């Protein structure tokens, strides 16, 4: 049995959204992105597979909370 290889990438994005997030890969296939948008002050989850296990989603959220600061960046005009 082949062991699955997981990989996490922490990345920022500035166009069209502005923030930072994590991408979770399994065997080089993107499964989940969780993103904190500082402009919209939102946190979103994008799932790239039709279904994933609850355990994997919980692990993705845990990774996000450990890697990404919870507070939003305050922009000053």
Query: 6-63: per-residue pLDDT in tens?
Result: 899 999 998 888 999 999 999 899 999 999 999 999 999 999 999 999 999 999 999 9
52/5 Cα distance (integer angstroms): 16
* 3-class SS of residue 4: coil
Instruction: Say what the pLDDT of residue 4 is.
Output: 62
Sign of CA dihedral 55, 60, 61, 62: positive
Residue 2 has pLDDT above 80, yes or no: no
Q: Tokens standing for 20?
A: 């930072």
Instruction: Say what the pLDDT of residue 16 is.
Output: 85
């Amino acid at each position: 049995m082949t062991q699955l290889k997981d990989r996490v990438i922490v990345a920022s994005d500035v166009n069209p959204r502005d923030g930072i997030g994590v991408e979770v890969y399994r065997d080089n296939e993107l499964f989940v992105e969780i993103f904190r948008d500082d402009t919209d002050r939102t946190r979103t989850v994008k799932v790239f597979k039709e279904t994933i296990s609850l355990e994997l989603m919980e692990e993705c959220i845990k990774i996000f909370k450990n890697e990404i600061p919870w507070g939003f960046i305050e922009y000053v005009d």
